[in-house]
A and B are shown apart, each in its own frame.
Chain A
Amino acid sequence: MTKFIRKTGTMIAAIAMFLSFSVLSSLAVSTNPVQSQQDAAQTQITTPTSQQVNSKLQENPIIKDLNILINFMTGVVGIVVVGTIIAGGIEYSMAGNNPQKVTNARKRIANGILAMFVFLLMWAFVNWLVPGGIF
Chain B
Amino acid sequence: MAVLFIAKLSLFLAAIGDKCTVPKAKSFFFIPTWWEYITGGERDAFNQCIPHVTFPDGAWAIGLAVLDILLRLAGFIAVVMIIVAGVEYITSIGNPEKITSARKRIQNSLIGLAAALVATAFVSFIGRQIG
Contacts and interface: CB of A to CB of B under 8 A. Distances in A.
Interface of A: 72, 75, 78-79, 81-83, 85-97, 102, 105, 109
Given A79-B60, A82-B67, A102-B108, A93 B113 contact: yes
A90 B75 CA distance: 8
Specify the main secondary structure of chain A where it touches its partner.
helix
- What are the 3 closest A-B residue pairs judged by CB atoms, nearest first? A92-B112, A93-B112, A89-B116
Interface of B: 56, 59-60, 63-64, 66-67, 70-71, 73-74, 77-78, 81, 100-102, 104-105, 108-109, 111-116, 118-119, 122-123, 126, 130
Given A90-B73, A109-B115, A82 B122 contact: yes
B124 to A, nearest CB: 10
B34 to A, nearest CB: 13
Contacts of A87: 70
B119 A94 contact: no
B56 A72 contact: yes
A86 B126 CA distance: 15
Given A79-B63, A79-B64, A88 B104 contact: no
B81 A96 contact: yes
B56 A90 contact: no
A94 B77 contact: yes
Nearest to A68: B56
B81 A78 contact: no
B19 to A, nearest CB: 25
A92 B130 CA distance: 30
B74 A83 contact: no
B67 A79 contact: yes
Contact of A89 (B101, B115, B130): B115
